[in-house]
Amino acid sequence: MSNEQDFKSSITKRLKMDCHKPLPNIDALEF
Domain boundaries, the chain: 1-31
Q: How far apart are CA 9 and CA 4, in angstroms?
A: 8
- Tell me if the pTM is above 0.95: no
Residues in the chain: 31
Q: Give the per-residue pLDDT at 30.
A: 58
Quick check: 21 pLDDT over 70?
A: no
pLDDT (0 to 100) of residue 7: 87
pLDDT at 12 over 70: yes
Q: Give me the DSSP letters along 1-31.
A: -HHHHHHHHHHHHHHHHTTTS--HHHHHH--
pLDDT at 3: 85
Q: Are 26 and 10 in contact (CB under 8 A)?
A: no
